Structure 1
């Protein structure tokens, strides 16, 4: 049985009333790979838009392992110092990481964000030298559509993320760079230009699932509507 830890920002923690892409991926893996597959992490709440705090357990379907390491407004900058303890405590086999938008939007430039990626990877491996990781690039968002300098930073960071994945990949602790979700459209797959709606959740889940299927033979092709 593999243990997966989703690591991410607001797109990963999700908001009250949502399924989240975490749920969609778990459904796929338990159906096509291993019924005992589980999600682990030190947190399990959703973000409550009304209170402005991660205090909700109001999942659209609460009947799944809801654990994660994700936070509204948190990025590589925030997760790098936390990942070592989270790996030691929760013992994941695979980290599923979707971070970067918040960093570039509020905290660090592309180069600084890439340095935090490398710090994150190093800390995770210090905790478990055999940890596996799947990294998702920053995906389309409304700010990148209207802010050219920001879009350039996103593009540069995604190049640097790919370089970090290639540089740091090793047989005992492999790193996969997932492809961005196919045909992801912020006008169709999000509810506000950034955060995924139901179709966006499916597409992000498939991005992670496709990378693991192609590289490691985990799971079967994803069919929207079956998970």
Structure 2
């Protein structure tokens, strides 16, 4: 049994009424992986925008393993202290991580955020020395179009993330940097300039799936379902 844990911010947890890219990934693995697998994590809910709490279970299609470690407004700075216990408790083998936008927007600069990436990896490996990690670079959102310093921080962090992945990668616990979806367009692939719509969900799932297929021969090339 291969256990995947999606880790992320608002783009990963999703909100009431959405499918989420987690669902798209589950569909892809179900149809292409060829072996037993599970989505695992300490949380299952969506974010409820009406109450601003992670308490909704109104998935567009709730019939899938909904476990995850994601939170609205959470970033590397929040997940680094949590990841060790989450990996240990849920015996995660592969972490699919999409974090960083909220860090850079509200909490830490690029260098501090990159430091938290390294703390995150150390915490995950303390629980499972053979854990595998796939990290998605930050996809610039609508704020980056008008806030030049923020856009520069996003670009700088993505450089530092690539360096951290290269520095920390090792055979028994491989780290993999996914390629940002080349066709991702915040006008067409989000509903508000940040959060993915259905097309955006597919593109994010495709980024993770493509990286794992190319590097680890896991599954097959992504086809939207």
TM-score class, shorter: over 0.9
Moved more, 34-43 or 111-120: 34-43
- Matched ranges for 1:28-39 at <5 A: 28-34=28-34, 36-39=36-39
2:221 aligned partner: 221
Following the alignment from structure 2 to structure 1, what is the Cα–Cα distance between the partners of residues 62 and 124? 28
How many angstroms does 1:35 deviate by? Answer: 5.8
Q: Is the 8 A contact 2:140 2:151 kept in 1?
A: no
1:96 aligned partner: 96
How many angstroms does 1:100 deviate by? Answer: 0.2
Q: Which runs of 5+ in 2 are unaligned?
A: none
TM normalised by structure 2 equals 0.99
1:64 aligned partner: 64
Deviations 1:13-40 (A, max 9, x none): 0000000000001100110113632100
- Matched ranges for 1:178-189 at <5 A: 178-189=178-189
1:148 aligned partner: 148
Moved more, 32-41 or 169-178: 32-41
2:195 aligned partner: 195
Q: Is the 8 A contact 1:5 1:39 kept in 2?
A: yes
Deviations 1:191-224 (A, max 9, x none): 0000000000000000000000000011111122
Following the alignment from structure 1 to structure 2, what is the Cα–Cα distance between the partners of residues 150 and 29? 35
Q: Which runs of 5+ in 1 are unaligned?
A: none
2:84 aligned partner: 84
1:169 aligned partner: 169
- Matched ranges for 1:3-82 at <5 A: 3-34=3-34, 36-82=36-82
Q: CA RMSD in A?
A: 0.8
Following the alignment from structure 1 to structure 2, what is the Cα–Cα distance between the partners of residues 140 and 115? 20
> Which segments of structure 1 move beyond 3 Å, counting only runs of 4 or more?
none
1:108 aligned partner: 108
Secondary structure of 2:185's aligned partner: coil
TM normalised by structure 1 equals 0.98
Following the alignment from structure 2 to structure 1, what is the Cα–Cα distance between the partners of residues 32 and 96? 18
Deviations 1:29-88 (A, max 9, x none): 110113632100000000001111000001001010000000000000000000000011
Following the alignment from structure 2 to structure 1, what is the Cα–Cα distance between the partners of residues 58 and 36? 24
Q: Is the 8 A contact 1:210 1:221 kept in 2?
A: yes
Q: Is the 8 A contact 2:140 2:154 kept in 1?
A: no
Q: Is the 8 A contact 1:182 1:207 kept in 2?
A: no
Following the alignment from structure 1 to structure 2, what is the Cα–Cα distance between the partners of residues 35 and 91? 17
Secondary structure of 2:82's aligned partner: helix
